[in-house]
Homo-oligomer: A and B are copies of this chain.
Amino acid sequence: MQYFVAVAEERHFGRAAERLGISQPPLSRAIRQLEVRLGTDLFTRTSRGVELTEPGNVLLRESRAALAAVAAAERRTRRAATDEPVVLVVKAAATGPLVTDLLERHAAEPGAAPVRLEPCAIGEQVRTLRDGRADAAVLHLPYDDLTGLDIVEIGQEPQVVFIGRSHPQSGRDSLTLAEVQELLHDAPTPRWADADGRIPDGPGPIARDHGQLQALVALGQATWLAPASCRAMMRPDIVAIPVPDAEPITTVLAWPAHGTSDAVAHLVATATRTAAALQG
């Protein structure tokens, strides 16, 4: 299955073999065996590489999910063995008071497992959950894709728009979503590399990290709509203007759905109580 994914991604038996650390003929044979077993061709062989067939495309998607599940099994078992702490991934950019509060309450619990915080790249969090590198994650709705995860809501916060201090609108004490759309027309939201390292098409400058994003915003080249707690980590020459009619951002604690360890269950229970306490 790894072999198949490698060939599908490289679209080339030779390169795939090199990547896998084996030689090309066994790889050819392995793929052929897989095709026989499944009763269908997975690639159309041409004289200059290979292309995926439709069943091949199906298998590629499914294989990626299956391999992630297998890797997760191994990683989680390893970690369960060494009673390492629960790994909680957070967006480096979005560590608001919600998370610190949750961690404090959790630490105060009797018998609570230690929690190791793990910052990670934007958009990478869900993947770390799926392949077992992490046990739980703090995500923000509606940005993240929650399929395969259970969640508990731990907070909501309004959105603000970040613009440079010298921006003509920087004196406003609130903006409507329509007005934000206007701003975005002149200075679009920066584009990030996504989980695959690819930059999506579209307008907007390209930012590689959070510092670049802030620089763009400060220079009036970009506008950024984000949860209000992001205010805490923005440079002083950027102002945050509330956008009351923007959908509030929901912060959730997420974990893989198919059952969890006691340690994660404990963390989740704490999160549930924390959320209840904050609401009440």
Contact = CB atoms under 8 A, between A and B. Distances in A.
B65 A69 contact: yes
A258 B65 contact: yes
A194 to B, nearest CB: 15
Nearest to A66: B69
A277 interface: no
17 contacts: A1-B73, A54-B80, A54-B262, A55-B77, A55-B78, A58-B76, A58-B77, A58-B80, A59-B77, A62-B76, A64-B258, A65-B69, A65-B72, A66-B66, A66-B73, A69-B70, A147-B148
A186 interface: no
Copy number in the complex reads: 2
A66 B70 CA distance: 5
A136 B47 CA distance: 38
A148 B257 contact: yes
A68 B148 CA distance: 13
Contacts of A78: 38-40, 55
Chain A's interface: helix, strand, loop or mixed, by majority?
Answer: helix
A81 B40 contact: yes
A145 to B, nearest CB: 7
Interface in A104-161: 132, 145, 147-150
Contacts of A40: 77-78, 80-82
Interface string A158-191: 0000000000000000000000000000000000
Interface of A: 1, 38-40, 42, 54-59, 61-66, 68-70, 72-74, 76-78, 80-82, 132, 145, 147-150, 256-262
A147 B257 CA distance: 6
A62 B132 contact: yes
Contacts of A65: 69, 72-73, 256, 258
A24 to B, nearest CB: 23
A72 B132 CA distance: 20
A260 B57 CA distance: 10
A120 B109 CA distance: 44
A124 to B, nearest CB: 16
A86 to B, nearest CB: 12
A38 B147 contact: no
A257 B149 CA distance: 11
Contacts of A145: 257
A70 to B, nearest CB: 5
B147 A74 contact: no
Contacts of A1: 70, 73
Given A61-B258, A61-B259, A258-B147, A39 B69 contact: no
Given A62-B132, A149-B147, A38 B258 contact: no
